[in-house]
Amino acid sequence: EPEVTQTPSHQVTQMGQEVILRCVPISNHLYFYWYRQILGQKVEFLVSFYNNEISEKSEIFDDQFSVERPDGSNFTLKIRSTKLEDSAMYFCAIEGGGDPSGRAMNEQFFGPGTRLTVL
Amino acid sequence: LAKTTQPISMDSYEGQEVNITCSHNNIATNDYITWYQQFPSQGPRFIIQGYKTKVTNEVASLFIPADRKSSTLSLPRVSLSDTAVYYCLVVAGGYNKLIFGAGTRLAVHP
């Protein structure tokens, strides 16, 4: 099973500050996703990223958000000016690449998440 | 993608079989039914996927009737560690975002 790590595990920041959340897939993958989950609520899609470009984004993913793959391995989510309502768990997910045998349709592998707390 | 409806919560006891039913009345021909599991403070984890009839793996079974408008996830002999939220999703082919609903919060009691 593909492995995904995320750093930091917990980030505390002041409102208005910039944060960068990192995702590191252990092996080569094609598609990357960011999701968030506000405490007690459902998992929400933010953005998908393929071939160094955003392929789809949700209404949540406004101008304060950006994603990039700066060095071909790390996949980052940046929030330029955090708001209180950005407090949530942020999950990176990967799909595709590697050995496809035995893999289900649209099967995504999620990282452990970064808990972002905005004060 | 088809909207899914599943119970908000369920309770069970260790050793029992748990069946969680999901309805997806507007499922399309190309859609697959997929279930994810999420433990507290962890990311969702894929459990099982099916298109029709029955699928079984080492974790669960998935029953899908001929009309595919519903599906049932079956967890045999649950243990305390199966306490989690279970999500029923309908996914299309290709690389697409996953759309999660509220899921079913399963509590397994000793």
How close, in Å, is residue B44 to chain A by CA atoms?
Answer: 6
B43 is written with which tokens?
């990311």
**Tally of domains in chain B:** 1
Over residues B11-40, the mean pLDDT reads: 95
Q: pLDDT for B69-92, tens place per residue?
A: 999 999 999 999 999 999 999 988
Residue A70 has what pLDDT? 76
- Three-state SS sequence of chain A: CCCEEEECCEEEECCCCCEEEEEEECCCCCEEEEEEECCCCCEEEEEEEECCEEEEECCCCCCCEEEECCCCCCEEEEECCCCHHHCEEEEEEEECCCCCCCCCCCCCEECCCEEEEEC
A50 vs A102, residue with greater confidence: A50
Residue A58 has what pLDDT? 95
Residue A26's domain is classified under what CATH number?
A: 2.60.40.10
Q: Which domain holds residue A111?
A: 4-118
Residue B72 has what pLDDT? 97
Contacts of B49 in chain A (CB under 8 A): 104-105, 107
- Residue B60 maps to a domain: yes
- Residue B2 maps to a domain: no
Instruction: Please give the share of chain A, as a percent, with pLDDT higher than 90.
Output: 63
How close, in Å, is residue A91 to chain B by CA atoms?
Answer: 6
Contacts of A33 in chain B (CB under 8 A): 97-98
Interface test with B, best of A34, A41, A106 (most B CBs within 10 A): A106
- In this predicted structure, the answer to whether residue A114 has a pLDDT above a threshold of 90 is yes
Nearest to B98 among A45, A55, A112 (CB): A45
Contacts of A107 in chain B (CB under 8 A): 34, 46, 49
- Residue B1 maps to a domain: no
- Residue B46 maps to a domain: yes
A69 is written with which tokens?
């793959």
Looking at every residue in chain A, the average pLDDT score rounds to 89
For residue B81, give the 3-state DSSP assignment.
helix
Q: pLDDT for A23-73, tens place per residue?
A: 987 666 678 999 999 999 999 999 998 878 899 999 999 999 999 887 777
- Residue B32 CA, distance from chain mean position: 12
B41 vs B37, residue with greater confidence: B37
A110·B95 Cβ contact <8 A: no
- Residue B78 maps to a domain: yes
Contacts of B4 in chain A (CB under 8 A): none
B98·A30 Cβ contact <8 A: no
Residue B86's domain is classified under what CATH number?
A: 2.60.40.10
**Tally of domains in chain A:** 1
